[in-house]
A and B are shown apart, each in its own frame.
Chain A
Amino acid sequence: MGSFLARRVGQAGVLLLIVSIIGFSILHLAPGGPLSQFAATGDMTQEDLDRVARQMGLDRPLPVQYAEWLWRLLQGDWGVSYRDKQPVLRVIGSHLGATLELMLSSTLLAMMIGCWIGVLGAIRRYSVFDTLATVGAMIALSIPTFWFGLVVIYVFSVGLGWLPAGNRYTIGDGSWSDRLHHLIGPCIVLALVSTAVWSRYMRSSMLDVINHDYIRTARSKGIPERRILFQHAVRNALLPMITIAGLHLPTLLSGALVTETVFTWPGMGRLFLDSIGYRDYPTVMGILMFTAMLVLLGSLLADLLYGVADPRIRTA
């Protein structure tokens, strides 16, 4: 476990370095580069722009600029938002809670439903249920999240009036139940794709597991079928799901951005989109780097968790 941990953290470190290089390249290769914010307004002369560029250190060699940028990034100095005039990290932090709330709740929902569908589909392979689940999952993976969001709003908010059409809470209310009420719509919308993903992976993982010899051993002990299914099959089939959770994080983040837009949910995704609208370069770059680091961290955590959950690695 120790060496596994060290190796895995080392890998994550290398990836972080490459991620930072990609981020830096995007910053500088995009037409206009870091100056586009000033150029866009159109009321600065070329001399003004040159002066700003010098002030920002843009006339120095790229590797130097990169090293300095990375150093500040690691120190937590992510620049100041043009729009809010606040440190980027603080701006991100103030929107992170809403996004995490959405992502966690929908993941919970998707895992519960998806894993069930996967298990049932696997033990009744090619049954009517399994076929419907498979086709359903493929369709769910094909529905654009924003459109599904509109459909949910149309049906449950506009049509039935059961759910609020957006926002995190009613202004002036903000009670626990009010927040929950607001969470339902976006949570379901974001969970759609995840549910499909979980059910597919769980199904194939189960199919893999029930072919193993130890399932036959369990059966030869004469223990109840339910116990074989849960203690022996599902328990093992869930292990790879930990890895899947890590791999699914980028998709989930993308989905959250779109869901937040449709439901005017005040999270990081909306902040990102608004910042683009305002050409708030530091915030945009900050969020981009932040999400990549979040993904990196997520997959690292997933691997560590896998190491804890699987005795073959834990005790190695």
Chain B
Amino acid sequence: MTSPVGAIDGPPAKPALTSRWDSPALRRFRRHRLAVFGAVTILVLTLACIVGPFLLPFTDTFIDIRQRFAPPLSGAHVLGTDQLGRDMLARLLMAGRISLAVGFAAMAISMVIGVCVGLVAGYYGGAIGAVLMRFVDAMLCFPSIFLLLAVSAFIHPGVETIILLIAFTAWMEVARIVEAQIKALRERDFAVAAEALGASDARVMIRELLPNAIAPIVVAATLNVAHAILAESYISFLGYGIQPPTPSWGNMLDNAQGYLTSAPWLAMLPGAMITLAVTSFNFIGDGLRDALDPRTDAR
């Protein structure tokens, strides 16, 4: 029976136009497999970056002038060497340490800022909330790369300052999410009851409201790691992020453009690493969003 399509009133009507193509297997794949793939990749990547450098025959700083531009899979250097004859694999793993660490640290700080701002704005509302949220809106007007570069150009960039900078440009979305959640939760019985019992503001916020908003926060945190890794790679690529000789995936690409013809792997490998790591975090975030909030399917 090929009947035409149309939603009907009453309980869970699924989008009609679509369901002919609906395959539970593909849906499960999207829900779970990709997230699992992401989690495993991140785990392996993190482990490799921590342990790997100890197991390799070369350090990331060992310069072998005779072995400059050795292509991948052509000898002792599995992934080849760079313009100074340094082992690419060792450098990629060391760079991974920095890039992942920057990603996690910047995420942690941006989450703290975002959650605090969102909590206060959502809980108190009124003038405080309005001022805070307008500030969030205004911060979001600045394209993040422009903001990052403008500030990092006038300070001496180190790993810590880069982390702080990225965090300062990445907390706004979190604040928005938390504010919306808290605003909605405030009106609910348990929050009202806790207030009536004389619990302090801080207690209500942290003990009663925050745990109920944890699902979107976790999702935002995951996506923020992806964002932070990307941001670091952008400004490092442009020369205002992590400074050589400390390697990061972004700054490894910095002067790779010049060798694009002769040694394309210098550009391809670090970029692939960034893409892999960021994709993995995005997959995890997407899977978590589905798992924690089955209603949203979008984006």
Contact = CB atoms under 8 A, between A and B. Distances in A.
Do A and B touch directly, given a CB cutoff of 8 Å in the complex?
yes
A127 B23 contact: yes
Contact of A123 (B18, B144, B226): B18
Given A126-B21, A150-B256, A254 B154 contact: no
Interface string B1-21: 000111111000101111111
B271 interface: yes
A253 B299 contact: no
Contacts of A211: 7, 13, 15-16
A251 to B, nearest CB: 7
B7 A150 contact: no
A303 to B, nearest CB: 13
Nearest to B266: A150
Contact of A146 (B20, B253, B282): B253
Nearest to A124: B21
Contacts of A21: 138
Contacts of A291: 142-143, 146
A126 to B, nearest CB: 5
Interface stretch (B25-33, B102-110, B115-123): B25-33
Of the candidates B20, B149, B151, the one having the most CB atoms from chain A within 10 angstroms of its own CB is B149
Contacts of B76: none
B275 A158 contact: no
Contacts of A148: 271
Nearest to B154: A30
Given A131-B26, A131-B30, A139 B139 contact: no
A315 to B, nearest CB: 27
A272 B153 CA distance: 11
B146 A147 contact: no
B145 interface: yes
A215 B146 contact: no
Contact of A18 (B135, B154, B257, B268): B135
B60 interface: no
A170 to B, nearest CB: 20
B5 A219 contact: yes
A204 B298 contact: yes
A251 B8 CA distance: 39
Contacts of B151: 26, 30
B174 interface: no
Nearest to A281: B154
A305 interface: no
Contact of A254 (B6, B144, B155): B144
A215 B7 contact: yes
Interface in A230-288: 233, 249-251, 253-254, 257-258, 261-262, 272-273, 276, 279, 284-285, 287-288
A144 interface: yes
Contact of A142 (B18, B21, B278): B278
Interface in A119-144: 122-128, 130-131, 134-135, 138-139, 141-144
Nearest to A128: B26
Nearest to B134: A18
Interface string B260-299: 1100100110110011001101110010000000000111
Contact of A127 (B7, B21, B238, B297): B21
A182 interface: no
Contact of B260 (A14, A26, A158, A210): A158
B149 A273 contact: yes
Interface of A is mostly: helix
Interface residues of A, number: 74
A36 interface: yes
B138 A138 contact: no
Nearest to A37: B154
B101 interface: no
Interface string A281-316: 000110110011101100000000000000000000
Nearest to A293: B141
Contact of A124 (B18, B142, B150): B18
A73 interface: no
Contact of A215 (B6, B34, B154, B260): B6
Given A151-B271, A216-B6, A292 B18 contact: no
A251 B143 contact: yes
A246 to B, nearest CB: 11
B240 interface: yes
A220 interface: yes
A296 B267 contact: no
Interface in A30-58: 30-32, 36
B69 interface: no
B139 A258 contact: no
B64 interface: no
Contacts of A249: 143
A19 interface: yes
Interface in B163-202: none
Given A18-B138, A126-B23, A215-B6, A210 B18 contact: yes
Contacts of A279: 153-154
A249 B17 CA distance: 32
B298 A125 contact: no
A158 B261 contact: yes
27 contacts: A15-B138, A15-B141, A22-B135, A22-B138, A22-B139, A31-B154, A122-B18, A124-B20, A126-B30, A130-B26, A138-B286, A141-B282, A142-B274, A146-B253, A151-B267, A158-B260, A200-B298, A210-B17, A215-B16, A216-B16, A219-B6, A250-B144, A251-B143, A257-B146, A258-B145, A295-B140, A295-B141
